[in-house]
Structure 1
Amino acid sequence: MEIATSADGTLIAFTALGQGRTIVIVNGALSTAADAVPLAQALADAGFRAITWDRRARGASGDRPGSGPDDEAADLDAVIDAAGGADAVLGHSSGAVLALHAATRGVPTGALFLSEPPIDFDGSGFGGELPEKLQALVDAGRPEEAIAAFQLDAVGLPAAMVAAGRESGQLAALAPLGQSTVYDARLTLRLRQPTAALFDIAQPVTVLRGAQTFPFLIGAADRLAAETPGAELVIVAESVMHRLDPAATARVIAERL
């Protein structure tokens, strides 16, 4: 494990696997660098150097109270710099939103591979009060409840599924990521109802989605690809219900790099 120092001094932990052109992976909500290891291994097997990292308030990385999307973009910038540069950034779910946001702020991402980004084009999702609600739960020492509220209000999971997660101990296992739900909510709100200017970036953009995934994500991915000049939409049949398939995704990247 290596350490990058972000612009505000927050320490960000990252790990490199493999040799070749560098691909930086940006995880989605409620996940850590450890969850990206199968994807990193698939990229390494395809001849790439894969970088996994813990976004702030996750795993081995640090945090700073009041952090927002620009801080997370700076974290990605710091990881890319410490890794010696990036040929591409692969973001999944909210990680794809972060990768896009960072690119618009001038972070040298290289080519962008954006997997099922939950961009709220129509402004029909959760309200601006959610980050404050989540922060209040975390501050009150109730991170499990913050996880549950995020799953219900931001992700849109059925109440029965969240209740089952509570019974099985899944919410308790995710409790260390409670603070990160605040940051993912803030990030999603920052890119709500984006203007065309957001997509005016120089990097090549490939948008990925599964053939079988949530309707909202199909709409968001297809619209992002349609509104981004020169972007390519790739439907990855092996990725099912918002679960990115490592081998198939590595193949898509290898074909384009």
Structure 2
Amino acid sequence: MSATVTSRDGTRIAYELTGSGPVLVLIDAAGHFRANSGLGELAGLLAGDFTVLRYDRRGRGESGDTAPYAPAREVEDLAALIDATGGSAALYGYSSGGLLALHAAAGALPVPGMVLLEPPVADEPGPKEFTARLRELGGAEAVEFFLGGIVPGEVLAGMRGTPHWDAMVSVAPTLAYDCELSEATDAGLLGRVTTPVLVLDSAGSSGDLTGMAASAAALLPNATHRSLPGEWHGVPAPVLAPVLRTFLRSVHDDR
């Protein structure tokens, strides 16, 4: 069952809780939301140790949206969720969801620890022209344009025409939000993140993704970097869950 919180700008954010223990918020990647997400299995595997919170980022699924967008609005969404569920929460961010986690921690939200899987932290922010073009296209064209520069051709071909593809098309305007998050993520921001962080990559990913994970870990003051068995830009939940459990338990034990 979904519950909602009201963010600072009045936007209603839908979420759900499962399990018991310290709160752990799972943050989806670009184009993903609860009805179009691979995080459900992970939530189930962690529910014995954590109160797992899954939510629809603004503009997706059952959550609302309020213009104009800014990365700070998404941090405020997380702040409202954390405040409503106990006042402190660890974070797991997948892909660009990891960028949002970094902004939250840099913004001094009460985050005792976080795990990031292949956060796309580039040496240089993406060009603003890309984001502007993305906004112009919309719909399936926007999804094609966004993924075309990221996803290997054979993977992209397998995505077209699937329910996952259609779900991404339904939230195509929010792809630009993740681009703005990327534009706002730099070495200075990472340097302000003192939270303990575990940065992960998949051994099956391409060099650009594993390289960005390594770069992010090197820029963070209190980070560890590990590579796990997996496919391109993904680690199976049964492999990922015990690693998250061990790291986040150690963070809580150190408090």
TM-score by length of 1: 0.87
1:98 aligns with 2:90: no
1:213-228 mapped onto 2 (5 Å cutoff): 213-228=205-220
Structure 1: which 4+ aligned runs deviate by more than 3 Å?
Answer: 160-173
Q: Is the 8 A contact 2:205 2:231 kept in 1?
A: yes
Structure 1 vs Structure 2: percent identity of aligned residues? 32
- Partner Cα separation in structure 1 for residue 142 and residue 58 of structure 2: 17
Hey, what does 1:255 align to over in structure 2?
Answer: 246
Hey, what does 1:150 align to over in structure 2?
Answer: 146
Q: Is the 8 A contact 1:43 1:250 kept in 2?
A: yes
CA gap of 1:161–1:116, structure 2 versus 1, over 3 A, is: closer
SS of corresponding position for 2:114: strand
Query: 1:73-132: per-residue Cα shift (whole Å, max 9, x none)?
Result: 111111111122334101010000110011111222220111110111245xx4211222
Q: Is the 8 A contact 2:24 2:89 kept in 1?
A: yes
SS of corresponding position for 2:109: coil
Task: Read off the aligned partner of 1:251 and give its amino acid letter.
Answer: P
CA gap of 1:179–1:24, structure 2 versus 1, over 3 A, is: same
The Cα of 1:58 is off from its aligned counterpart by 0.7
The Cα of 1:164 is off from its aligned counterpart by 5.7
Hey, what does 1:208 align to over in structure 2?
Answer: 200
- Partner Cα separation in structure 1 for residue 160 and residue 225 of structure 2: 36
The Cα of 1:156 is off from its aligned counterpart by 4.7
- Partner Cα separation in structure 2 for residue 170 and residue 228 of structure 1: 33
- Partner Cα separation in structure 2 for residue 230 and residue 190 of structure 1: 21
Hey, what does 1:185 align to over in structure 2?
Answer: 179
- Partner Cα separation in structure 2 for residue 207 and residue 163 of structure 1: 29
Q: Is the 8 A contact 1:5 1:11 kept in 2?
A: yes
1:43 aligns with 2:35: no
Q: Is the 8 A contact 1:91 1:98 kept in 2?
A: yes
Q: Is the 8 A contact 2:106 2:189 kept in 1?
A: no
Unaligned runs of 5+ in 1: none
SS of corresponding position for 1:100: helix
Number of aligned residues: 245
CA gap of 1:30–1:41, structure 2 versus 1, over 3 A, is: same
1:129 aligns with 2:122: no
Q: Is the 8 A contact 1:116 1:207 kept in 2?
A: yes
Hey, what does 2:17 align to over in structure 1?
Answer: 16
CA gap of 1:32–1:111, structure 2 versus 1, over 3 A, is: same
SS of corresponding position for 1:95: helix
TM-score by length of 2: 0.88
Task: Read off the aligned partner of 1:247 and give its amino acid letter.
Answer: P
CA gap of 1:81–1:179, structure 2 versus 1, over 3 A, is: same
The Cα of 1:167 is off from its aligned counterpart by 5.1
The Cα of 1:59 is off from its aligned counterpart by 0.6
Q: Is the 8 A contact 1:22 1:85 kept in 2?
A: no
- Partner Cα separation in structure 2 for residue 87 and residue 208 of structure 1: 19
Unaligned runs of 5+ in 2: 250-255
Q: Is the 8 A contact 1:90 1:96 kept in 2?
A: yes
1:80 counterpart (79, 82, 97): 82
Deviates more, 1:98-107 or 1:242-251: 242-251
